[in-house]
Amino acid sequence: MKRSTELNLIKRVLSHVAEKSTDMADATSSLPVTRYYDPERFEAEQKLIFGRLPRAIGHISQIPETGDFFTLDAGDAPVLIVRTEGGGVNAFLNVCRHRGARLEWDAGGCGRKRFTCKYHGWVYNPDGALIGIPGSEGFPELNREIHGLTRLPVQIRHGFVWIQPDPKGELDMADYLGDLDAELGGFDLDTHVQFSPRRFSKKINWKLVIDTFLEGYHVRTAHKDTIAPMFFDNIGLTDRFEPHQRIIFPKLTISDLADQPEETWSLRQHANILYVLFPNTMILVQPDHMGVFHGYTDGVDGVVVDACALVPHAPATDKATNYWQKNVDILFNAVDEDFALAESVQAGVKTQANEHLTFGRMEKGLGWFHQSIDQIVDEKGR
Protein backbone atom coordinates (compact mmCIF):
# COMPACT_ATOMS: atom_id res chain seq x y z
CA MET A 1 0.00 0.00 0.00
CA LYS A 2 1.35 3.42 -0.94
CA ARG A 3 2.14 5.62 2.03
CA SER A 4 -0.09 8.34 0.61
CA THR A 5 -2.98 5.87 0.41
CA GLU A 6 -2.40 4.70 3.97
CA LEU A 7 -2.39 8.24 5.33
CA ASN A 8 -5.52 9.14 3.39
CA LEU A 9 -7.36 6.09 4.75
CA ILE A 10 -6.36 6.93 8.32
CA LYS A 11 -7.55 10.51 7.90
CA ARG A 12 -10.88 9.28 6.55
CA VAL A 13 -11.28 7.00 9.56
CA LEU A 14 -10.37 9.73 12.03
CA SER A 15 -12.92 12.02 10.39
CA HIS A 16 -15.61 9.38 10.82
CA VAL A 17 -14.59 8.85 14.43
CA ALA A 18 -14.87 12.58 15.11
CA GLU A 19 -18.23 12.81 13.36
CA LYS A 20 -19.50 9.42 14.68
CA SER A 21 -20.26 8.49 11.07
CA THR A 22 -19.26 5.86 8.52
CA ASP A 23 -19.05 5.39 4.77
CA MET A 24 -22.56 5.40 3.33
CA ALA A 25 -24.25 4.57 0.05
CA ASP A 26 -26.58 7.16 -1.43
CA ALA A 27 -29.61 4.96 -0.69
CA THR A 28 -30.64 1.60 0.64
CA SER A 29 -30.86 -1.33 -1.76
CA SER A 30 -32.56 -4.70 -1.82
CA LEU A 31 -32.05 -8.21 -3.14
CA PRO A 32 -34.67 -10.87 -3.93
CA VAL A 33 -34.33 -13.77 -1.49
CA THR A 34 -34.48 -16.18 -4.43
CA ARG A 35 -30.88 -15.21 -5.22
CA TYR A 36 -29.83 -17.58 -2.44
CA TYR A 37 -31.74 -20.70 -3.46
CA ASP A 38 -33.03 -20.51 -7.01
CA PRO A 39 -31.46 -23.45 -8.93
CA GLU A 40 -31.50 -21.71 -12.31
CA ARG A 41 -29.74 -18.67 -10.88
CA PHE A 42 -27.19 -20.92 -9.21
CA GLU A 43 -26.45 -22.74 -12.46
CA ALA A 44 -25.92 -19.43 -14.22
CA GLU A 45 -23.49 -18.33 -11.50
CA GLN A 46 -21.64 -21.64 -11.79
CA LYS A 47 -21.27 -21.28 -15.54
CA LEU A 48 -20.57 -17.57 -15.88
CA ILE A 49 -18.66 -16.84 -12.67
CA PHE A 50 -17.05 -20.01 -11.36
CA GLY A 51 -16.63 -21.45 -14.85
CA ARG A 52 -14.96 -18.41 -16.40
CA LEU A 53 -13.42 -16.02 -13.87
CA PRO A 54 -9.92 -16.27 -12.36
CA ARG A 55 -9.69 -17.27 -8.74
CA ALA A 56 -7.13 -18.10 -6.08
CA ILE A 57 -7.19 -21.71 -4.92
CA GLY A 58 -4.21 -21.92 -2.57
CA HIS A 59 -0.89 -20.50 -1.46
CA ILE A 60 2.49 -21.42 -2.87
CA SER A 61 3.75 -22.37 0.61
CA GLN A 62 1.48 -25.42 0.43
CA ILE A 63 3.76 -26.89 -2.24
CA PRO A 64 7.32 -25.69 -1.50
CA GLU A 65 9.27 -28.44 -3.32
CA THR A 66 9.32 -30.01 -6.78
CA GLY A 67 6.60 -32.63 -7.10
CA ASP A 68 4.56 -31.33 -4.19
CA PHE A 69 0.89 -31.14 -5.07
CA PHE A 70 -2.62 -30.50 -3.85
CA THR A 71 -6.04 -31.21 -5.26
CA LEU A 72 -9.27 -29.30 -4.99
CA ASP A 73 -12.84 -29.71 -6.14
CA ALA A 74 -13.50 -26.11 -7.10
CA GLY A 75 -17.19 -26.17 -7.95
CA ASP A 76 -17.65 -28.44 -10.94
CA ALA A 77 -13.94 -28.56 -11.79
CA PRO A 78 -11.61 -31.00 -9.98
CA VAL A 79 -8.15 -29.44 -10.07
CA LEU A 80 -4.61 -30.81 -9.61
CA ILE A 81 -1.83 -28.32 -8.79
CA VAL A 82 1.81 -29.49 -9.01
CA ARG A 83 5.05 -27.65 -8.19
CA THR A 84 7.54 -27.80 -11.07
CA GLU A 85 11.33 -28.06 -11.10
CA GLY A 86 11.75 -24.42 -12.01
CA GLY A 87 9.71 -23.23 -9.03
CA GLY A 88 6.54 -22.61 -11.01
CA VAL A 89 3.30 -24.55 -10.97
CA ASN A 90 1.25 -26.67 -13.33
CA ALA A 91 -2.52 -26.74 -13.10
CA PHE A 92 -4.57 -29.55 -14.63
CA LEU A 93 -8.09 -30.80 -14.59
CA ASN A 94 -7.82 -33.78 -12.24
CA VAL A 95 -9.30 -36.13 -14.82
CA CYS A 96 -7.70 -39.11 -16.56
CA ARG A 97 -7.68 -38.80 -20.34
CA HIS A 98 -8.65 -42.47 -20.83
CA ARG A 99 -12.13 -42.89 -19.40
CA GLY A 100 -12.55 -39.66 -17.45
CA ALA A 101 -12.01 -41.01 -13.93
CA ARG A 102 -10.59 -38.88 -11.16
CA LEU A 103 -6.82 -39.13 -11.43
CA GLU A 104 -5.41 -38.13 -8.02
CA TRP A 105 -7.50 -38.87 -4.93
CA ASP A 106 -5.23 -37.55 -2.19
CA ALA A 107 -5.77 -34.00 -0.93
CA GLY A 108 -2.04 -33.34 -1.21
CA GLY A 109 1.41 -34.84 -1.10
CA CYS A 110 5.14 -34.31 -1.44
CA GLY A 111 7.71 -35.08 -4.13
CA ARG A 112 5.36 -36.96 -6.43
CA LYS A 113 7.08 -38.08 -9.64
CA ARG A 114 4.06 -39.64 -11.29
CA PHE A 115 0.29 -39.72 -11.01
CA THR A 116 -1.44 -43.05 -11.67
CA CYS A 117 -5.15 -43.47 -12.35
CA LYS A 118 -6.75 -46.02 -10.01
CA TYR A 119 -9.16 -47.18 -12.72
CA HIS A 120 -6.89 -48.58 -15.45
CA GLY A 121 -3.45 -47.45 -14.34
CA TRP A 122 -2.66 -44.78 -16.91
CA VAL A 123 0.36 -42.81 -15.72
CA TYR A 124 1.22 -39.10 -16.06
CA ASN A 125 4.27 -37.12 -14.99
CA PRO A 126 4.17 -33.76 -13.14
CA ASP A 127 4.18 -31.95 -16.48
CA GLY A 128 0.96 -33.75 -17.40
CA ALA A 129 2.50 -35.96 -20.09
CA LEU A 130 1.05 -39.44 -20.57
CA ILE A 131 4.02 -41.72 -19.84
CA GLY A 132 2.46 -45.11 -19.18
CA ILE A 133 -0.40 -47.22 -20.56
CA PRO A 134 -0.86 -50.77 -19.24
CA GLY A 135 -1.78 -53.00 -22.16
CA SER A 136 -0.62 -50.35 -24.59
CA GLU A 137 -1.00 -52.86 -27.42
CA GLY A 138 -4.71 -52.22 -27.12
CA PHE A 139 -4.22 -48.61 -28.20
CA PRO A 140 -2.03 -48.88 -31.31
CA GLU A 141 -3.24 -45.61 -32.84
CA LEU A 142 -3.28 -43.48 -29.67
CA ASN A 143 -1.27 -40.27 -29.92
CA ARG A 144 0.18 -39.82 -26.43
CA GLU A 145 1.26 -36.27 -27.15
CA ILE A 146 -2.32 -35.07 -27.32
CA HIS A 147 -3.54 -37.25 -24.46
CA GLY A 148 -1.68 -35.52 -21.66
CA LEU A 149 -3.65 -33.98 -18.81
CA THR A 150 -5.82 -31.01 -19.71
CA ARG A 151 -4.02 -27.85 -18.64
CA LEU A 152 -5.58 -24.85 -16.99
CA PRO A 153 -4.06 -21.37 -17.24
CA VAL A 154 -2.25 -20.77 -13.93
CA GLN A 155 -0.17 -18.00 -12.34
CA ILE A 156 1.59 -17.41 -9.05
CA ARG A 157 0.94 -13.85 -7.93
CA HIS A 158 1.32 -12.38 -4.45
CA GLY A 159 2.06 -15.87 -3.22
CA PHE A 160 -1.27 -17.28 -4.32
CA VAL A 161 -1.92 -19.90 -6.98
CA TRP A 162 -4.52 -18.50 -9.38
CA ILE A 163 -6.28 -20.49 -12.05
CA GLN A 164 -8.51 -19.77 -14.99
CA PRO A 165 -11.09 -22.59 -14.82
CA ASP A 166 -11.71 -22.49 -18.57
CA PRO A 167 -8.90 -24.46 -20.30
CA LYS A 168 -9.30 -22.20 -23.33
CA GLY A 169 -9.40 -19.00 -21.30
CA GLU A 170 -6.70 -16.44 -20.60
CA LEU A 171 -5.18 -15.38 -17.29
CA ASP A 172 -3.59 -12.03 -16.48
CA MET A 173 -3.83 -11.51 -12.74
CA ALA A 174 -2.20 -8.08 -12.72
CA ASP A 175 -4.91 -6.91 -15.07
CA TYR A 176 -7.70 -8.70 -13.20
CA LEU A 177 -6.68 -7.24 -9.83
CA GLY A 178 -6.32 -3.77 -11.31
CA ASP A 179 -5.38 -1.04 -8.83
CA LEU A 180 -5.30 -3.58 -6.00
CA ASP A 181 -2.44 -5.48 -7.63
CA ALA A 182 0.27 -3.08 -6.50
CA GLU A 183 -1.41 -2.62 -3.13
CA LEU A 184 -1.40 -6.35 -2.42
CA GLY A 185 2.24 -6.49 -3.48
CA GLY A 186 3.14 -4.28 -0.53
CA PHE A 187 2.29 -6.98 2.01
CA ASP A 188 4.95 -9.49 0.86
CA LEU A 189 2.36 -12.25 0.69
CA ASP A 190 4.71 -14.35 -1.41
CA THR A 191 7.16 -14.70 1.50
CA HIS A 192 4.53 -15.76 4.03
CA VAL A 193 3.67 -19.36 4.87
CA GLN A 194 0.41 -21.10 5.52
CA PHE A 195 -0.45 -21.81 9.16
CA SER A 196 -3.33 -23.76 10.71
CA PRO A 197 -5.24 -24.56 7.50
CA ARG A 198 -8.76 -25.84 7.89
CA ARG A 199 -11.68 -26.80 5.68
CA PHE A 200 -15.29 -26.68 6.75
CA SER A 201 -18.68 -27.09 5.14
CA LYS A 202 -21.73 -24.96 5.82
CA LYS A 203 -25.34 -25.10 4.68
CA ILE A 204 -25.32 -21.70 3.05
CA ASN A 205 -25.27 -20.34 -0.47
CA TRP A 206 -21.74 -19.30 -1.52
CA LYS A 207 -22.69 -15.62 -1.60
CA LEU A 208 -23.41 -15.60 2.13
CA VAL A 209 -19.75 -16.35 2.81
CA ILE A 210 -18.90 -13.00 1.23
CA ASP A 211 -21.95 -11.14 2.58
CA THR A 212 -20.85 -11.97 6.12
CA PHE A 213 -17.61 -9.99 5.78
CA LEU A 214 -18.85 -6.97 3.85
CA GLU A 215 -19.98 -4.73 6.71
CA GLY A 216 -19.17 -3.87 10.30
CA TYR A 217 -22.77 -3.11 11.19
CA HIS A 218 -23.16 -6.56 12.79
CA VAL A 219 -20.03 -6.56 14.94
CA ARG A 220 -21.50 -4.99 18.07
CA THR A 221 -24.26 -7.58 18.40
CA ALA A 222 -22.95 -10.67 16.60
CA HIS A 223 -19.52 -10.53 18.27
CA LYS A 224 -20.32 -8.75 21.53
CA ASP A 225 -18.43 -11.30 23.64
CA THR A 226 -15.49 -11.87 21.30
CA ILE A 227 -13.99 -9.19 19.04
CA ALA A 228 -16.51 -6.33 19.36
CA PRO A 229 -14.73 -4.67 22.33
CA MET A 230 -11.70 -4.03 20.10
CA PHE A 231 -13.55 -2.19 17.31
CA PHE A 232 -15.63 0.92 16.79
CA ASP A 233 -19.35 0.28 16.45
CA ASN A 234 -20.37 0.64 12.80
CA ILE A 235 -17.50 2.88 11.70
CA GLY A 236 -15.51 1.88 8.65
CA LEU A 237 -14.45 2.48 5.08
CA THR A 238 -15.60 0.67 1.97
CA ASP A 239 -13.93 1.25 -1.41
CA ARG A 240 -14.75 -0.37 -4.73
CA PHE A 241 -12.22 -1.63 -7.24
CA GLU A 242 -14.75 -3.28 -9.52
CA PRO A 243 -15.36 -6.16 -9.11
CA HIS A 244 -13.20 -6.23 -5.95
CA GLN A 245 -13.44 -4.28 -2.69
CA ARG A 246 -11.32 -3.05 0.20
CA ILE A 247 -12.94 -2.61 3.61
CA ILE A 248 -11.36 -1.02 6.69
CA PHE A 249 -12.49 -2.06 10.17
CA PRO A 250 -10.87 0.46 12.59
CA LYS A 251 -9.96 -0.47 16.14
CA LEU A 252 -10.55 1.85 19.08
CA THR A 253 -6.81 2.52 19.30
CA ILE A 254 -6.80 4.41 16.01
CA SER A 255 -8.10 7.45 17.89
CA ASP A 256 -4.69 7.78 19.51
CA LEU A 257 -3.16 8.66 16.14
CA ALA A 258 -4.92 12.03 16.08
CA ASP A 259 -2.39 13.35 18.62
CA GLN A 260 0.66 11.69 17.05
CA PRO A 261 2.85 12.85 14.14
CA GLU A 262 1.82 11.42 10.78
CA GLU A 263 5.19 9.78 10.23
CA THR A 264 4.35 7.35 13.06
CA TRP A 265 0.92 6.41 11.74
CA SER A 266 0.25 2.78 10.84
CA LEU A 267 -3.13 1.67 9.54
CA ARG A 268 -2.35 -2.01 9.90
CA GLN A 269 -1.59 -1.65 13.61
CA HIS A 270 -4.90 0.05 14.31
CA ALA A 271 -7.36 -1.52 11.86
CA ASN A 272 -8.12 -4.73 10.05
CA ILE A 273 -7.90 -4.38 6.26
CA LEU A 274 -10.09 -6.72 4.26
CA TYR A 275 -9.58 -7.37 0.55
CA VAL A 276 -12.54 -9.04 -1.12
CA LEU A 277 -11.25 -10.50 -4.38
CA PHE A 278 -14.16 -11.39 -6.61
CA PRO A 279 -15.70 -13.83 -6.66
CA ASN A 280 -14.75 -15.92 -3.64
CA THR A 281 -11.48 -14.98 -1.90
CA MET A 282 -10.97 -12.74 1.11
CA ILE A 283 -7.68 -11.64 2.67
CA LEU A 284 -7.93 -10.09 6.14
CA VAL A 285 -4.75 -8.15 6.91
CA GLN A 286 -4.03 -7.96 10.64
CA PRO A 287 -1.06 -6.36 12.44
CA ASP A 288 1.43 -9.19 11.87
CA HIS A 289 -0.36 -11.87 9.85
CA MET A 290 -3.30 -12.45 7.50
CA GLY A 291 -6.43 -14.58 7.50
CA VAL A 292 -7.40 -16.08 4.14
CA PHE A 293 -10.73 -17.55 3.05
CA HIS A 294 -11.75 -19.22 -0.21
CA GLY A 295 -15.39 -20.26 -0.62
CA TYR A 296 -16.42 -22.98 -3.11
CA THR A 297 -19.92 -23.92 -4.12
CA ASP A 298 -21.35 -27.22 -2.92
CA GLY A 299 -24.77 -27.10 -4.46
CA VAL A 300 -27.16 -24.19 -4.37
CA ASP A 301 -27.33 -24.07 -0.56
CA GLY A 302 -23.96 -25.50 0.42
CA VAL A 303 -20.41 -24.19 0.56
CA VAL A 304 -16.95 -25.51 1.34
CA VAL A 305 -14.55 -22.96 2.82
CA ASP A 306 -10.77 -23.32 2.80
CA ALA A 307 -9.27 -21.05 5.44
CA CYS A 308 -5.85 -20.46 6.95
CA ALA A 309 -3.54 -17.88 8.41
CA LEU A 310 -0.52 -16.58 6.54
CA VAL A 311 2.36 -15.83 8.91
CA PRO A 312 5.74 -14.25 8.10
CA HIS A 313 7.65 -17.50 8.60
CA ALA A 314 7.06 -20.99 9.87
CA PRO A 315 7.12 -21.04 13.70
CA ALA A 316 10.35 -22.55 14.99
CA THR A 317 9.41 -22.86 18.68
CA ASP A 318 6.43 -23.90 20.75
CA LYS A 319 6.15 -20.31 21.94
CA ALA A 320 5.83 -19.04 18.39
CA THR A 321 3.34 -21.78 17.50
CA ASN A 322 1.21 -20.93 20.55
CA TYR A 323 1.34 -17.24 19.70
CA TRP A 324 0.06 -17.74 16.17
CA GLN A 325 -2.50 -20.33 17.25
CA LYS A 326 -3.95 -17.95 19.83
CA ASN A 327 -4.41 -15.29 17.16
CA VAL A 328 -5.93 -17.77 14.72
CA ASP A 329 -8.35 -19.02 17.35
CA ILE A 330 -9.61 -15.49 18.00
CA LEU A 331 -10.30 -15.06 14.30
CA PHE A 332 -11.99 -18.39 13.78
CA ASN A 333 -14.12 -18.09 16.89
CA ALA A 334 -15.55 -14.91 15.39
CA VAL A 335 -15.96 -16.61 12.01
CA ASP A 336 -17.87 -19.44 13.67
CA GLU A 337 -20.26 -16.86 15.07
CA ASP A 338 -20.68 -15.34 11.61
CA PHE A 339 -21.41 -18.62 9.86
CA ALA A 340 -23.89 -19.79 12.50
CA LEU A 341 -25.87 -16.65 11.72
CA ALA A 342 -25.38 -17.15 7.97
CA GLU A 343 -26.90 -20.63 8.23
CA SER A 344 -29.91 -19.06 9.94
CA VAL A 345 -30.17 -16.61 7.04
CA GLN A 346 -30.09 -19.45 4.52
CA ALA A 347 -32.95 -21.13 6.38
CA GLY A 348 -34.80 -17.84 6.74
CA VAL A 349 -34.74 -16.85 3.06
CA LYS A 350 -36.60 -20.06 2.18
CA THR A 351 -39.55 -19.08 4.34
CA GLN A 352 -42.20 -16.57 3.29
CA ALA A 353 -41.05 -14.00 5.83
CA ASN A 354 -39.36 -11.85 3.16
CA GLU A 355 -39.53 -11.39 -0.57
CA HIS A 356 -36.29 -9.44 -0.50
CA LEU A 357 -33.45 -8.55 1.86
CA THR A 358 -32.67 -4.91 2.61
CA PHE A 359 -29.13 -3.52 2.64
CA GLY A 360 -28.74 -0.32 4.65
CA ARG A 361 -26.69 2.63 3.47
CA MET A 362 -23.82 1.52 5.73
CA GLU A 363 -23.93 -1.91 4.03
CA LYS A 364 -23.01 -0.60 0.62
CA GLY A 365 -20.41 -3.30 0.07
CA LEU A 366 -23.20 -5.87 -0.14
CA GLY A 367 -24.95 -3.83 -2.78
CA TRP A 368 -21.75 -3.57 -4.82
CA PHE A 369 -21.01 -7.29 -4.54
CA HIS A 370 -24.43 -8.33 -5.78
CA GLN A 371 -24.34 -5.70 -8.52
CA SER A 372 -21.14 -7.30 -9.79
CA ILE A 373 -22.83 -10.70 -9.84
CA ASP A 374 -25.91 -9.34 -11.59
CA GLN A 375 -23.82 -7.61 -14.25
CA ILE A 376 -22.10 -10.87 -15.12
CA VAL A 377 -25.10 -13.18 -14.94
CA ASP A 378 -27.67 -10.87 -16.51
CA GLU A 379 -25.47 -9.37 -19.22
CA LYS A 380 -23.23 -12.27 -20.20
CA GLY A 381 -26.02 -14.77 -19.80
CA ARG A 382 -28.14 -13.20 -22.52
pLDDT band at 73 (very low <50, low <70, confident <90, very high): confident
Q: What's the whole-number mean pLDDT along residues 265-286?
A: 98
143-167 pLDDT per residue, tens: 999 999 999 999 999 999 999 999 9
Above 90 in pLDDT, residue 74? no
- Domain match, 180 and 292 both: yes
**pLDDT (0 to 100) of residue 86:** 87
Residue 298 C-alpha from the chain's centroid: 15
Q: What's the whole-number mean pLDDT along residues 355-377?
A: 97
End position of a domain, from candidates 111, 143, 170? 170
- Domain match, 140 and 184 both: no
Average pLDDT, the chain: 96
Q: What's the whole-number mean pLDDT along residues 215-234?
A: 96
Q: What's the whole-number mean pLDDT along residues 236-263?
A: 97
Rounded-to-integer distance, Cα 180 and Cα 117, Å: 40
Q: What's the whole-number mean pLDDT along residues 267-281?
A: 97
End position of a domain, from candidates 170, 199, 223? 170
Q: What's the whole-number mean pLDDT along residues 79-87?
A: 94
**pLDDT (0 to 100) of residue 379:** 77
Above 60 in pLDDT, residue 378? yes
Q: What's the whole-number mean pLDDT along residues 178-195?
A: 96
- Domain match, 275 and 141 both: no
**pLDDT (0 to 100) of residue 77:** 84
Looking at the DSSP bridge assignments, the partners of residue 151 are 92
**pLDDT (0 to 100) of residue 212:** 94
Count of structural domains within the chain: 2
- Domain match, 110 and 192 both: no
**pLDDT (0 to 100) of residue 380:** 64
Q: Report pTM.
A: 0.95
Q: What's the whole-number mean pLDDT along residues 128-133?
A: 97
Q: Is it true that the peptide bond before 279 is cis, omega within 30 degrees of 0?
A: yes
User: How many other β-carbons are positioned within 10 Å of the β-carbon of residue 167?
Assistant: 13
Above 90 in pLDDT, residue 46? yes
Above 70 in pLDDT, residue 201? yes
Above 80 in pLDDT, residue 76? no
Query: HEC string of the chain?
Result: CCHHHHHHHHHHHHHHHHHCCCCCCCCCEEEEHHHHCCHHHHHHHHHHHHCCCCEEEEEHHHCCCCCCEEEEEECCEEEEEEECCCCCEEEEECECCCCCCECCCCCEECCCCCEECCCCCCEECCCCCEEECCCHHHCCCCCHHHCCCCECCEEEECCEEEECCCCCCCCCHHHHHCCHHHHHHCCCHHHCEEEEEEEEEECCCHHHHHHCCCCCCCHHHHCCCCCHHHECCCCCEEEEECCEEEEEEEEHHHHHHHHCCHHHCCHHHHEEEEEEECCCEEEEECCCCEEEEEEEECCCCCEEEEEEEEECCCCCCHHHHHHHHHHHHHHHHHHHHHHHHHHHHHHHHCCCCCCEEEECHHHHHHHHHHHHHHHHHHHHCC
- Domain match, 277 and 249 both: yes
CA angle 17, 18, 19 (to 5 degrees): 90
End position of a domain, from candidates 147, 170, 193? 170
The residue segments making up the domain with residue 253 are 3-52+175-380
pLDDT band at 295 (very low <50, low <70, confident <90, very high): very high
Rounded-to-integer distance, Cα 352 and Cα 289, Å: 43
**pLDDT (0 to 100) of residue 116:** 98
- Domain match, 335 and 212 both: yes
pLDDT band at 188 (very low <50, low <70, confident <90, very high): very high
- Domain match, 221 and 367 both: yes
Above 80 in pLDDT, residue 60? yes
* Distances 352 to 32, 34, 104, 342 between C-alpha atoms, Å: 12, 11, 44, 17
- Domain match, 16 and 143 both: no
- Domain match, 130 and 219 both: no
pLDDT band at 21 (very low <50, low <70, confident <90, very high): very high
pLDDT band at 366 (very low <50, low <70, confident <90, very high): very high
- Domain match, 295 and 183 both: yes
Rounded-to-integer distance, Cα 48 and Cα 378, Å: 10
Q: What is the CATH number of the domain that holds 127?
A: 2.102.10.10
Q: What is the CATH number of the domain that holds 209?
A: 3.90.380.10
**pLDDT (0 to 100) of residue 381:** 55
- Domain match, 188 and 131 both: no
Q: What's the whole-number mean pLDDT along residues 87-91?
A: 95
**pLDDT (0 to 100) of residue 284:** 98
Above 60 in pLDDT, residue 382? no
